[in-house]
Structure 1
Amino acid sequence: MKVMSINDIQKLIKIIGLKAFLTRLILFLESDFARWDTFHKSIRHATYFAHGAIELMPCANEQFYAFKYVNSYPGNTAQGKLSVIGIGQLSDATTGYPLLLSEMTLLTALRTAATGALAAKYLAREDARSLAMIGTGAQAEFQVIAFNSLFPLQQIRYFDIDPAAMAKFSRNLASYAFELIPCANVGEAIHNTDIIITATATTRRMRLFELQDVAAGTHIHAMGGDSPGKTELSQTLLKAAKIVVEFIPQTLKEGEVQQCDASDIYAELWELVTKRKRGRENATEITVFDSVGFAVEDFAALRLVYELALEHQLGSEIALLPEPDDPKDLFSVLIPFLNQN
């Protein structure tokens, strides 16, 4: 079984480059969303605690089975810990044998950003040049870089209630060609921007902005609302927008649309990818991708990492499974180590 540690993922990004990895990941995501009907799908299993949630996210087709263990603990940062961490496994669906165990904290950030960029390919205006980043925590840089891989962004406006997070964001993206504009509030950040990304760590229902604050033709990637009772957008805005989600049963439970009915949702992302439904239809409609994350995305990320790990000979081969000479004699693997006294 191959194990990809955080060090291995870092080496992989160094070898092929962040932009190339994101570009390839977007292609893998698009390919897997196009095969939506071939997957065994279910909503994630979530256990909620006072301070956060721990979730298992499974997904499979006839070739691979994948799952991710992931947490969401917004208060962790006050203790010097990440608010989201993940570990993923990819298995051979024909034998049930695991193939890969991988870190998925970085991978979750990368696949979340790549999925948002993929949705924007169908929902944002092709001439989008400006982006507003609301919330500049751990996910923010990944989002901007992924969107910039598909759109020639010229201006990034950003706001966070934490000045240190804003300074970190600016420092990490200083070498990129787009202009970085720190803003004093949400309204200033989203004024006349083409794309808005909401990524706050709120744990309650709130309204970051209202419908009248959003310019005609804006695309909104709402990625921050990911648990029951947590939202960032108003019901009025959602009712006026074209809403696309990943998997309706899961998004109705955890996304912005928990405020709405299923009839308010225009499409699932796979329907845009397969051209079953049209994405953006004019230059003035407001579009929303209500992203809560879905296991198909982890499946695509693990599939890509496994392919690249084999290609570049990365990761460690760890003997986690017994290999008896006779598969019906499992006890034999213990015999050399038993005390016969």
Structure 2
Amino acid sequence: MASKGRTPLSALEKAKRKAARDYRRIAEKRSLTYDDIYGKRAGNKNMGRKPVSKEEQIRRAKKQFLKSLSEHRAEARKESIDLPDIKSLLREYRTYRANDSAGRKSADRYLILKKHLKKENEKLLQAQRELESDDIPCPLETYSGRGRKPMSKREKVKYLSDKVTEVVLEMEEVYKKVPESQKIYYELRDARLELRELRENLKNQKLAPFDDVLAAREELEQKVSELETAYNEQLKLEKKESKSKPLQSSTSALSPTTTPLPSVATTLSNSENEVTEELFQNRSPHQVIDNMKQDLAEVEEEIKRLELLEEVLRKKEEFIKKRKLIKQGIENIQNKII
């Protein structure tokens, strides 16, 4: 029986889509703000691994794009397809399938905090068990004087309790600001996770297929189906309401937690045709021109780098052909000797 689904993509199409995504990701990294990089950390912001700086993220994005560009060119050579010059190719990358919404929905601030809350609750339960147990000595009793001084059992429980309370309060504030469709999505996500866990337990025989377990599975399946319908209907309603409202009021009504990064395709296409009104907010025309000149200089620099890369790839292709001819000549001579 034939499997259902979309027609598989060719290697050339996959490489082209990947190169386009990686090129637009450079613009996304350049538009990052301080809050985008450092504001999404949960818990103590001064502990743990530091976020990657904006400059480093841009550098990594450029490196990844050059790799994707090489893969796209290689696939095109295999298919004997001539790609346009680098400027035309970059112009095509800017808008090629830029509005695709495939893939898993990314976690927002509420879901990040929820995952963080689960970890902190586990730490708190472990600290409470250690506090009630007499077999585990107090860390202060075994402290040798080297390194950071540990907290006592009671201090640790209080410290973790305060952290849990802080996360819960932030989650409540975030939840108040999200639209109704997002609230339905949170409930749908929890129901899906619960249903998946129940199915895995039944499959691995961790739960016996009694009538009450099977009834719970059917109830969860029904709940997921109802929530999916409600979620899709609410999305349609909110989309309809946003279209009926004026542009300024609709943009101001968006909450900070649900406002995505500016669309790279829209930003780049507008930069070719017209300057958006946002550029002139709180800026003089001279400042706008200076900023645009800086952006132009960066684009020109990138084009020069890519042109150099294009020349290197062209030379590489020539040497590959020469290597092939030399190998073929060696084989012919060896065959004559034999």
- TM-score, normalization: structure 1? 0.24
TM-score (norm 2): 0.24
- The structure with the greater share of residues assigned to helix is 2
Larger fraction in strand: 1
